[in-house]
């Protein structure tokens, strides 16, 4: 056990030395601050590391990850990350990235009792229930799971659009929301083209009269 833990420390030494070899000023420059242009909301799955699969460097992507890349409107962790990314870092793009073969999605499609995590997976069950007709028409289990994975991402992008944080940003500037699915089998991202840029993209009941409120103050 100690050996496997030590591997990370050794790896870190190699990382730091390599970076300094390439650029002696590398950490000095990074430590001055961050100005990432992207917020990434992805799955905690160890096979979907945001920077690695997008060939981006430290400082380029602000990252939030949880099981099955969910955007739950009462999740204070996600909302805090979102607020900081949008209002302080002023990111221009938010990417929700799911992945095929997601354990969370697969688990939500069964009646198996998993324990506490079922409270979290309920959000995916709701997506399933909402799209039951289309999903049940897909006979192959794997294909059905793949479609639910895509539907889940689309649903989470919409959840972002429903937040006050995103709608307030839209009132002042451009902010683009994207839904992607990553393929564990080929390393490629599929853009689901669920881009939302305006408040009008979502159902009226979720639209806040942000400008009016601002004007009243």
Q: Which residues are catalytic?
A: 43, 45, 47, 99, 102
Q: How far is the CB of 149 from Co ion (least distance, A)?
A: 8
Based on CB atoms, which residue is closest to Co ion, 105 or 175? 105
CA–CA dist 211, 189 (Å, integer): 36
The residue count of the chain comes to 217
Based on CB atoms, which residue is closest to Co ion, 52 or 172? 52
Chain position carrying tokens 């937040």: 163
Based on the shown chain and the rule CB under 5 A, indicate whether residue 43 belongs to the binding site for Co ion: yes
Based on CB atoms, which residue is closest to Co ion, 102 or 121? 102
Taking CB under 5 A as the binding criterion, the range among 7-15, 40-48, 87-95, 158-166 that sits at the site for Co ion is 40-48
CA–CA dist 136, 33 (Å, integer): 49
HSE, CB side, 13 Å, CA atoms: give it for residue 15. 9
Helices (H), 74-183: 76-83, 103-108, 117-130, 132-136, 141-161, 164-172
Based on CB atoms, which residue is closest to Co ion, 45 or 150? 45
Based on the shown chain and the rule CB under 5 A, indicate whether residue 82 belongs to the binding site for Co ion: no
Q: What is the DSSP letter of 86?
A: I
Q: How far is the CB of 47 from Co ion (least distance, A)?
A: 9
Q: How far is the CB of 100 from Co ion (least distance, A)?
A: 9
Taking CB under 5 A as the binding criterion, the range among 4-12, 96-104, 172-180, 192-200 that sits at the site for Co ion is 96-104
Q: Among residues 164, 157, 172, 185, which one has the least CA distance to residue 47? A: 185
Secondary structure of residue 8 in the 3-state scheme: helix
CA–CA dist 84, 192 (Å, integer): 26
CA–CA dist 136, 130 (Å, integer): 12
Based on the shown chain and the rule CB under 5 A, indicate whether residue 102 belongs to the binding site for Co ion: yes
Based on the shown chain and the rule CB under 5 A, indicate whether residue 45 belongs to the binding site for Co ion: yes
Taking CB under 5 A as the binding criterion, the range among 104-112, 142-150, 172-180, 185-193 that sits at the site for Co ion is 104-112
Q: How far is the CB of 109 from Co ion (least distance, A)?
A: 13
Q: Catalog residues that contact Co ion under the rule CB under 5 A.
A: 43, 45, 102, 104
């Amino acid at each position: 056990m100690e050996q496997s833990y030590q591997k990370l420390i050794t790896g870190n030494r190699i990382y730091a030395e390599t970076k300094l070899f390439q650029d002696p000023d590398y950490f000095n420059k990074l430590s001055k601050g961050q100005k990432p242009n992207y917020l990434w909301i992805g799955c905690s799955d160890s096979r979907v590391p945001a920077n690695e699969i997008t060939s981006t460097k430290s400082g380029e992507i602000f990252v939030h990850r949880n099981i099955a890349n969910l955007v739950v409107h009462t999740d204070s962790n996600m909302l805090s990350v979102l607020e900081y990314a949008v209002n302080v870092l002023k990111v221009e793009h938010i990417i929700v990235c799911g992945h095929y073969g997601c354990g969370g999605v697969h688990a939500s499609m069964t009646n198996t009792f998993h324990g506490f995590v079922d409270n979290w997976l309920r959000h995916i069950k709701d997506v399933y229930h909402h799209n039951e007709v289309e999903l049940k028409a897909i006979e192959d289990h794997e294909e059905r799971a793949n479609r639910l994975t895509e539907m889940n991402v689309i649903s989470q992008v919409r959840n972002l659009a429903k937040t006050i944080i995103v709608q307030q940003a839209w009132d002042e500037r451009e902010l683009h929301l994207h839904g992607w699915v990553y393929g564990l089998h080929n390393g490629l991202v599929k853009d689901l083209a669920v881009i939302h840029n305006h408040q009008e993209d979502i159902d009226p009941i979720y639209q806040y009269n942000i400008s009016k409120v601002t004007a009243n103050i």
